[in-house]
Every structure is written in C-alpha cells, then in structure tokens.
C-alpha cells in the first residue's frame, strides 16, 4: 500500500510546472511578447496555492489494497456524508477553538481562487459568476472526496454540506474584497495585465 502525499505532489508537480512555464516564456519571447513580472509572480503563486489546495482537500491518496478497517465498513459508512449542516458543532466533543478553525478555514479556502479569477477574467467579476465558480469548485472537491471514500483511496474524509456552504460564502466575500481593491493603482495594474493577455490571445 502506497500513500501519495503533498510532499510527493510538490516533488513531481513543481519541476513539471517549472519546465512547462519556461517553455511557455521562451515561446512568448520568440513571438516578441514582453515579460510581465507582476503577472508571472501572480501566476506562480496561484499554482503553488493550487498544490496546497489539493493537498488540503484531496491528499493523501492511498494506492493499493483497501485497509482492513475500510473493508469492514458498510457502503454508507464509507461514503461518510453529513447532509445536515453545522450539526457537529453542537456535539459535546467539539470545542469552540476547533469550530472556529473549521469555519474560518472553509471560508478562506477558495478565496485566493476567486481573487485570481477576478483579476484574470473580466467576465468573472460579477457576483453571480464568482458565486457559481466557487460553488462548482467546492462541489467538485466534495464529490471527489466522496468517490475516494467509496473506493477506499482515503481514510474516510467527511463529505460535509456545510463545507459547500462556507466555501461558497468565502467566494462571495473574496468577490467583495476584489471589488473594494479594484481601484487606483491596483486597478491600473490589473487592467494593464488584462489588456496584455487579450493582445496575446490568452483570453
């Protein structure tokens, strides 16, 4: 049985990304496209964030024979779905600190994703689009966790409806933060990068 963890993702994924990015930048240079350091920093930070997001929500993945513990569980028990939101918060075993960490963690989980999307895509800068994108990403994560639970690829992550609610709310907050920030020098910087991407045919 082998467990693929976040460290493995960085070890294998980061070199592949660096090589791919170098090739992209070399092709841009040949086409006479100017190097935008601000956009490059933002893009690479976003990729690192994606690695961390996968590590937090999906990894570790256990590859190989299903553990005896999981084999003893029924199908419903392996699915481990909690369809009643926030019910666990009222159980005696949960302390205020852990509840706050869970709420805050789920609120901020997808905020960087929405901030990046709003900065990169003018079409995604309305509330409806930001909410829809956040909801679909969160739903995809929960469904992936469900599939992993069913096939014994993880030690039964809890598929929470409350995660979907909090992630989506966090996306709405991120959209609000972007709207507040999208002014002055930051607006000029984002608009200049956006214009360059249109000229390069990336949008």
Structure confidence at residue 195 as a pLDDT band (50, 70, 90): low
Cα separations (Å) of 185 from 66, 81, 103, 117, 199? 54, 46, 33, 19, 21
pLDDT (tens digit, 9 = 90+) per residue, 83-94? 988 887 777 656
CA distances to 9, 55, 121 from 2, rounded to whole Å, are: 14, 16, 39
Q: Is residue 197 predicted with pLDDT exceeding 60?
A: no
As a whole number of angstroms, the distance between CA 104 and CA 115 comes to 17
pLDDT digits over 39-68, tens only?
A: 899 999 999 999 999 999 999 998 877 777
Residue pointed to by tokens 């601000």: 38
Distance between CA atoms of 176 and 125, rounded to whole angstroms?
A: 10
- CA pair distance 54, 140, nearest whole angstrom: 12
* 55 Cα distance to chain centroid: 10
pTM above 0.95, yes or no: no
List, as one string, the DSSP characters of 83-108: -STTGGGGSTT--HHHHHHHHHHHHH
In this predicted structure, the answer to whether residue 74 has a pLDDT above a threshold of 90 is: no
pLDDT at 154 over 80: yes
How much is the pLDDT for 111? 98
Interatomic CA distance for residues 127 and 62, integer angstroms = 38
Query: Using CA atoms, how far apart are residues 134 and 167, in angstroms rounded to an integer?
Result: 7
163 within 8 A of 138, measured Cβ to Cβ: yes
Residue 93 is predicted with a pLDDT of 59
Query: Which residue ranges make up each domain of the chain?
Result: 1-64, 73-202
Provide the b/e sequence for 45-54 (b: ≥16 CB within 10 Å).
ebeeebbebb
């Amino acid at each position: 049985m082998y467990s693929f963890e976040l460290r493995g993702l960085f070890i294998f994924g980061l070199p592949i990304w660096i090589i791919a990015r170098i090739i992209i930048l070399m092709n841009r240079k040949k086409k006479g496209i100017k190097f935008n350091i601000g956009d490059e920093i933002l893009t690479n930070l976003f990729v690192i964030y994606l690695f961390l997001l996968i590590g937090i929500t999906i990894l570790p993945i256990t590859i190989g024979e299903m553990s005896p513990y999981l084999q003893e569980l029924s199908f419903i028990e392996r699915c481990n779905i909690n369809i009643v939101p926030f019910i666990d918060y009222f159980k005696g075993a949960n302390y205020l600190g852990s509840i706050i960490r869970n709420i805050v963690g789920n609120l901020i989980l997808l905020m960087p994703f929405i901030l990046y999307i709003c900065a990169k895509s003018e079409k995604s800068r309305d509330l409806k689009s930001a909410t829809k994108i956040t909801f679909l990403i969160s739903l995809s994560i929960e469904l992936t966790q469900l599939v992993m639970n069913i096939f014994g690829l993880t030690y039964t992550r809890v598929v929470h409806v409350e995660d979907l609610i909090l992630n989506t709310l966090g996306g709405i907050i991120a959209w609000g933060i972007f709207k507040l920030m999208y002014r002055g020098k930051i607006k000029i910087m984002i608009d200049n990068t956006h214009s360059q991407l249109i000229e390069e045919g990336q949008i």
